[in-house]
Amino acid sequence: MAEYSRIAKGNFTSTGAYQAINLPFQPTIIEMWNYSASGTPAQHGIPYAYWDASMGQGYAQCQLFNSTPVLTTGNITSNGFSTFSAGLALQFGSRQQIIGATAANPIVFNVTAHGYSVGQVVTFEGLYQTSTTGMPQICGMPFVISAVGDANHFSVVWPGTGSNYTALSGSPTGAYVKQILYPWLYAPGVAFIEAITTGTTTTVVTTAPNNFVVGQEIAFRIPSAWGTTQANSLPNDTTPSKPRYFYVLSVTNSTTFVCSMNSTGYTAFNTNQTVASVPGLNFPQVLAVGDVNTGGVQISSGSALYPPPQVNGVNTINGPAIQGAYVTNTSQGFVIGSGATTTDASSVLVGANTNVIYWRAMLTDM
């Protein structure tokens, strides 16, 4: 029967990292075709894969090329296809023990078989080497994974070279990392600050994608320990009770933007917080104010954000948004993972960088 069944299709260019596909439903059947792998047969390539909900999350059946290359078959038992439905609160993946971490920038974490990909967002807890050393100063902030060295190492950008940061080793008790499964439930959101470059305009780097666009109106909340408190929206000494807002002038990448704040002479931003200050330490933040992340673009038929607003560059399932409001991104859909098959540990379901991927997803009523 197909009275209430749904079907969707689309395509994208792979980056080699996992790919989330937003849909107005959670599929029970998924098919994927790698056009590039089909056109240029090579060892480890997966030209076709199939998933049914009865297989379980993270599984798939696939075709793949062996060393000849000759097309054969294989099964994926982890990091295959999976569906998701984001709620109104953050949801997390399983906690994983941290074996060690470098006191560097970026910080390289050693976690056995972490399964993470570039672009995923994680958070840390309990990063103590001893009761007075380590890097618990960054616990609780979201970080985008900037690089994956191998199956056991990944990196996040943070100035861990500061004198108050100590490398981790020997699997410290209570030191864990977990993935934030749906980090963009609202847009614009609140971003945590990793660096500020002062000047006639101000460059800001955030720990995870901020979803800001040119023209976005923003405000700062920086506790005194982090310096640069002159940027704070309150208090406004010139006009009491009126917040100080600024505009995004340009967006360098997903975590870096330039705003209109003239910060010449402002106190330097300071990430070198002490371990002793961690209890009660509040984080520096930048947030969007009173907009739906349009950058002042009118939302109407034919405009860039009609019908769906975007979250981190991906269309949400929402209809037209109202200016002066936040977008609720309770998204759902499926993920194409970057895992390997049981028969070929080098095969990647989502394909290699620049591969062209086509997909079809279905929700069947029976």
Residues 324-351 pLDDT 10s: 555 666 678 899 988 777 677 788 899 9
Edge-first strand order for the sheet with 153-156 is 100-101, 107-110, 153-156, 147-150
* CA 255 distance to own-chain centroid: 10
Q: Report helix, strand or coil for 226.
A: helix
Per-residue confidence (pLDDT) for residue 24, from 0 to 100: 81
Per-residue confidence (pLDDT) for residue 314, from 0 to 100: 62
Contacts of 21 (CB under 8 A, 6+ apart): 10, 12, 333, 334, 335, 336, 359, 361
Task: Name residue 74's amino acid.
Answer: G
pTM: 0.73
Choose between 307 and 226: higher pLDDT: 226
Per-residue confidence (pLDDT) for residue 1, from 0 to 100: 44
Q: Which structural domains are found in the chain, ordered by start?
A: 6-86+333-363 (no CATH), 96-179 (2.40.30.20), 186-288 (2.40.30.180)
Q: State the average pLDDT over residues 272-287.
A: 95
Per-residue confidence (pLDDT) for residue 310, from 0 to 100: 65
Choose between 152 and 339: higher pLDDT: 152
Residues 115-150 pLDDT 10s: 898 888 999 999 999 999 999 999 999 999 999 999
Q: Report helix, strand or coil for 229.
A: helix
Q: Report helix, strand or coil for 124.
A: strand
pLDDT for 305 beyond 70: no
- Evaluate whether 299 touches 323 at the Cβ level (below 8 Å): yes
Rounded to whole angstroms, the maximal C-alpha distance in the chain is 74
Q: State the average pLDDT over residues 272-291.
A: 90
Taking the alpha carbons at both ends of the chain, their separation in whole angstroms is 6
